[in-house]
A and B are shown apart, each in its own frame.
Chain A
Amino acid sequence: GENVEQHPSTLSVQEGDSAVIKCTYSDSASNYFPWYKQELGKGPQLIIDIRSNVGEKKDQRIAVTLNKTAKHFSLHITETQPEDSAVYFCAASKKGDMRFGAGTRLTVKP
């Protein structure tokens, strides 16, 4: 089955810097790649997703890139703010069979 690895497990950046979280997946048939943000005391919330027919997608300060050949995808957050501090999860899905990464705890220091 699909296996998703996520790195790093923790990430600390200074406010205003960029943050990058990377995920790799094992099943080349996976075609949907969402990213979820989980703030303290809340459930995960979808922040951006990408399908395998697209190489990059951007929404304001966040962007996701997908390299199908290498089977990895990344979340990029620019101009980080303290409210970006949270746990971020990537996932890879094939026909509804979705696997999550272990999560990255991002801390943005003011």
Chain B
Amino acid sequence: DVKVTQSSRYLVKRTGEKVFLECVQDMDHENMFWYRQDPGLGLRLIYFSYDVKMKEKGDIPEGYSVSREKKERFSLILESASTNQTSMYLCASSLLGVVANEKLFFGSGTQLSVL
């Protein structure tokens, strides 16, 4: 089974802090994604990556950056956390194919609270 592991289940940070959310997958998937989940809004794509050192903006990239130095690891960075970034963050991966984000495998999520 594919396993996508997010480093923290819960995080509490202060406004203005730099925050790192880490994600590791163990199935050699090429594609990795970061989504944000908010009540009533579903899942919204922040950033994704098709390969090492490669990144693409999703629908809501403002205030975020990402890093993919190794194939199995994809990090989401909040350069200066703000209260409106309080949310559940979900990492996902998928095999390289015709369409990258089909058949996504998700991690359990990180609930981030920015105070």
Chain A residues with a Cβ under 8 A of chain B: 4, 6, 9, 32, 34, 36, 41-46, 49, 89, 91, 93, 95-96, 98-103
| Minimum Cβ distance to chain A for residue B91 (Å) | 8
A91 to B92, CA, bound (A): 15
Interface SS of chain A: strand
Q: In the complex, given contacts A43-B109, A101-B42, A103-B40, what are 16 additional A-B residue pairs having Cβ atoms less than 8 angstroms apart?
A: A4-B42, A9-B40, A34-B102, A36-B104, A41-B108, A43-B4, A43-B90, A43-B92, A43-B107, A44-B104, A44-B106, A49-B102, A89-B42, A96-B99, A100-B42, A100-B44
Using CB atoms, name the residue of chain A closest to B102: A32
The winner among A43, A44, A49 for most chain B CB atoms within 10 A is A43
Residues of chain A contacted by B90 (CB below 8 angstroms): 43-44
Residues of chain A contacted by B100 (CB below 8 angstroms): 96
| Minimum Cβ distance to chain B for residue A38 (Å) | 8
Using CB atoms, name the residue of chain A closest to B40: A102
Known contacts: A43-B107, A44-B90. The answer to whether A93 contacts B42 by CB under 8 A is: no
Give the number of chain B interface residues (Cβ < 8 Å).
Answer: 20
The answer to whether A32 and B108 touch across the interface, beta carbons within 8 angstroms, is no
The answer to whether B101 and A93 touch across the interface, beta carbons within 8 angstroms, is yes
The answer to whether A46 and B42 touch across the interface, beta carbons within 8 angstroms, is no
19 A-B Cβ contacts within 8 A? A4-B42, A6-B42, A32-B99, A32-B102, A34-B103, A42-B108, A44-B90, A44-B106, A45-B106, A46-B105, A49-B102, A95-B99, A96-B100, A96-B101, A98-B101, A100-B42, A100-B44, A102-B40, A102-B42
The answer to whether A103 and B42 touch across the interface, beta carbons within 8 angstroms, is yes
Which positions 31-48 of chain B face chain A at CB distance < 8 Å? Answer: 40-45
Using CB atoms, name the residue of chain A closest to B6: A43
The answer to whether B108 and A43 touch across the interface, beta carbons within 8 angstroms, is yes
Among B44, B99, B105, B109, contact of A93 (Cβ-Cβ < 8 Å): B99
